[in-house]
Structure 1
Amino acid sequence: MAVDRLLPTEEARDLLDLVRDVADKELASRVDEHERNETYPEGLFRTLGAAGLLSLPQPEEYGGGGQPYEVYLQMLEELAQRWAAVAVAVSVHTLSCFPLLEFGTPEQRERWLPDMLGGDLVGGYSLSEPQAGSDAAALTCKATPAEGGYRISGSKAWITHGGRADFYTLFARTPTGVSCFHAPGAVDGLTFGRPEEKMGLHGVPTTAAHWDDAFLETDRLVGADGQGLRIAFAALDSGRLGIAACATGLAQAALDAAVNYAKERTAFGRKIILHQGLGFLLADMAAAVESARATYLDAARRRDAGVEYSRQASIAKLVATDAAMKVTTDAVQVFGGYGYTREFPVERFMREAKVMQIFEGTNQIQRLVIARHL
């Protein structure tokens, strides 16, 4: 069912109507096939880009949509209601654009951002390593200074759109510390592992990357040498809001499916939604979804107002992803034995929810961040 949203402008309401139409036509109609067969939706991201949905919150001067973050996140939520993997990939693309937008030089922005935001390119974010997930400061991928640039050597892990992205925001260790680079999608010395065999989000690949003395020009360094961790953590504040919105959309999809089923299924002579035990369960699910939405929107509005929002971003990510795990699990329970089969989508929702408690900072890391702000 359509979510009754409070949006800031009439333009935003029209935009969300467009998003729903595109998502119904392009995502909802294809999700089952690609998730079941673990195949990539060729051409889909170009379609989203042509509709302006890959650059919604970025400045118009570089080809973005110029929309507030609260509108962008509600767009992500609508996408996630139809296809979580695609929504996550759109969120990661936005995350990948953040460092150049916020820390790049005017020359770098003019050179690369129009294409990055033009709708034809998709970005990946390359921070994690096999031994450095939550502990990003432990990364060992090296960027060794060389004539005219850097030589990159090492392995990266858990890259959404790995091997398919057109560019990567790469973090590697220079002699002065961790640094950030705008890396092309293909360069001599860069190879990718086979896609991970994941529990969910099958439609978009997640891979490792292997850098073997690959060369990046000096002008691909984003920000100051050694500034990479600051850039990475600033980007993740925004990225965590994207994941919170995706989790909320996934939870909304599970709630909708559970309510619809409960209104149709009969037991003991009446619709099961009329049994108090199940009605209360559905009420708790609805409360969790609404609470998750309110939490991420509060953080987004702080970001739009230009005030500190790091703690609120971690709270939103924690609350929304925990809610998604609980709501999707309860949706399976509402369906009973049918919920455990692939005949209905709720088992997929439950599998997809789990990773949202893990990526872009585990929920244990979110609790650390929140505690340090108290």
Structure 2
Amino acid sequence: MLDTRPPTAQDLLERLAEKARADFLPRALRDENSTHIQLDTLQDLHELGLLHVSASPENGGLGGSLLGRENPGLFVQALRRLARGDAAAAHCYQLHNHALWMLETMGTPRQIETILRPLTSRFGLLGFVGSEPGRASNKDPLQTRARKVEGGWRVNGVKSFVTNGTAADLILTSVAVETPAPGTSPADQHLSLMIDPSSEGVSIDNGWYRPNGMKTARSPLITLSEVFVPDSHLVGERPGVMPRGRWFAKFHLGFAANYIGSAEGLFAWYLDYTRARGRAGQPLVQLRTGEMRLALDAAIAHFEHAVALWQQGDTVEAELASMSAMSVVR
């Protein structure tokens, strides 16, 4: 009898794990030096029904964010399995879903209707960037500034490591208010704007940074020169919503998932290599292999603990556990 039931979250994860091993890994090895975004892999995720996983079902996703109702944590579990085969594609997937989750949570009903739902109804990507050249940490003031004008904002500055920058429909960008009121805290000067990469005044340098690993997919440098962003593309009702909502802490576990998945993929390759060389039975190899396995298991335990804590309502403990998981696997 034909099984017509929709796939469960576990079904989807198993299918993804198999595709990561059989399809995504060979593709990543083939294209490792091309440094382009693996759109074929992201398209495969879309066909699996996992590309927009962090959005809620009514908005085209699966409710898979850390705080999702239907499938909490499905996003980071999918990200981990994807990273076993292609860490760079996983990073693109990670930042797309971070932006998606933030837009759904902070966006206005109008933005949900006109931006989010049309995007999740098809293959589409969001970019995400906060980094700037010379800015060492999130505590340093943002140098990219937005000046209020009639109908929107004029933005000037330079953003670096713009994940999905050359493929995104919109890029969620962190900027600062150009002339804040006296006494305004740095957090309350923060704006989150959605920038159309085709807008006048946007210049993309796609060749400035060409690393390997999870950053193999190019993260361009984007210069913004008097770029107009309409009020309709301001995310959040007022300045300061992103830092006040502790969104950077919510993103730690996505990085941990990528690191763990990458480590799992490397460990699987190491086991195959050791066996093929006929060294698997040597006592020293077995000792070191066991040590690596224990370290990986410890990182996975930290990760699973952090995923569970997000559902228990203690945000600070969940944030700390997420940072711990990210640090252990590094």
Band the TM-score falls in, shorter-chain normalisation: 0.7 to 0.9
Superposition RMSD in Å: 2.1
Kindly tell me: are residues 204 and 69 of structure 1, through their superposed partners in 2, closer, same or farther at Cα, counting changes over 3 Å? farther
Match of 1:236 in 2: 248
Alpha-carbon distance, 1:304 to partner:
3.1
Flag the 1:40–1:11 CA change in 2: closer, same or farther, 3 A: closer
Residue 119 to residue 11, structure 1, CA distance change in 2 (3 Å): same
For residues 149 and 80 of structure 1, what CA distance do their matches in structure 2 show? Answer: 39
Residues 191-240 of structure 1, C-alpha deviations (whole Å, 9 max, x = no match): 11123121434651111111100101112111143215516x73322322
Query: Which residues of 2 match residues 79-98 of structure 1 at below 5 A?
Result: 79-98=82-101
Q: Which residue of 1 aligns with 2:184?
A: none
Match of 1:128 among 117, 131, 156: 131
Partners of 1:178 and 1:53 lie apart in 2 by: 31
Name the residue aligned to 2:174. Answer: 171
Structure 2 residue 315 is the aligned partner of structure 1 residue 303:
no
Residue 23 of structure 1 aligns to a residue in which SS? helix
**2:16 is the alignment partner of 1:13:** no
Secondary structure at the aligned position of 1:164 is classed as coil
CA deviation map 1:254-283 (0-9, x unaligned): 1112222222323xxxxx232222211111
Distance 1:305 1:34 in 2: 41
2:68 corresponds to which residue? none
One-letter identity of the residue aligned with 2:143: T
8 A Cα contact 2:306 2:325, kept in partner: yes
The structure-2 alpha-carbon separation of the partners of 1:307 and 1:221, relative to structure 1 and needing over 3 Å to count, comes to: same
Match of 2:257 among 245, 248, 253: 245
Task: Tell me by how many angstroms 1:95 deviates.
Answer: 1.2
CA deviations 1:7-64 (Å, max 9, x no partner) are xxx8222111221243345412311111034344344323322322212232101011
Choose which of 262, 271, 274 in structure 2 pairs with 1:259: 271
- For normalisation by structure 2, the TM-score amounts to 0.86
For 1:69 and 1:294, the matched residues in 2 are separated by 17
| Of 185, 193, 200, the match for 2:197 | 185
**Conservation of the 8 A alpha-carbon contact between 1:182 and 1:222:** yes
Q: Give the aligned partner of residue 52 of structure 1.
A: 49
- Please identify, of 44-53 and 278-287, the stretch whose mean Cα deviation from structure 2 is larger: 44-53
Q: Contact 2:127/2:164 (CA < 8 Å) preserved in 1?
A: yes
Contact 2:210 2:216 survives alignment (8 Å): no
Q: Partner of 1:318 in structure 2?
A: 327
**Aligned with 2:231 (options 215, 218, 231):** 218
- Residue aligning to 1:22: 19
More helix by share: 1
Matched, 1:115 2:118: yes
What are the residue-to-residue correspondences of 1:155-166 with 2, within 5 Å?
Answer: 155-166=158-169
Question: How far apart, in 1, do the equivalents of 2:99 and 2:215 lie?
Answer: 21
The SS at the match of 1:155 is strand
AA matched with 1:134: S
Is the 1:54–1:119 Cα contact (8 Å) retained in structure 2? no
AA at the equivalent of 1:255: F
Quickly say closer, same or farther: Cα 1:252–1:44, change in 2 above 3 A. closer
**2:296 corresponding residue in structure 1:** 289
Change (3 A) 1:217 1:126: same
Aligned pair count reads 306
Structure 2's unaligned 5+ residue stretches are: 1-6, 65-70, 181-188
Distance in 1, Cα, partners of 2:292 & 2:148 = 53
Q: Distance in 2 between matches of 1:125 and 1:24?
A: 27
Q: Rate the CA distance shift 1:108–1:96 in 2: closer, same or farther, 3 A.
A: same
* 3-state SS of paired residue (1:273): coil
Question: What residue number does 1:6 align with?
Answer: none
> 1:39 and 1:63 mapped to 2: Cα distance?
27
Deviation at 1:290, TM superposition (A): 1.4
CA distance in 1 between partners of 2:36 and 2:163 (Å)? 14
Residue 274 of structure 1 aligns with an amino acid whose one-letter code is: G
Give the structure 2 partner of residue 372 of structure 1: none
Name the amino acid aligned to 1:261: Y
The 3-state SS of whatever aligns with 1:159 is coil
- TM (normalized to structure 1)? 0.76
Extract unaligned runs of 5+ from structure 1.
Answer: 1-9, 267-271, 323-374
What letter matches 1:179 in structure 2? L
Distance verdict in 2 for CA 1:215–1:54, change over 3 Å: same
> Are positions 1:34 and 2:47 aligned together?
no
8 Å CA contact 2:24–2:86 kept in 1: the answer is: yes
Q: What do residues 100-129 of structure 1 show as CA deviations (whole Å, max 9, x unaligned)?
A: 122222222222211333341111112110
Q: Return the offset for 1:178.
A: 1.4
Aligned twin of 1:370: none
Residue type of the alignment partner of 1:284: E
Aligned partners of 2:210 and 2:218 also within 8 Å: no
SS in structure 2 opposite 1:278?
A: helix
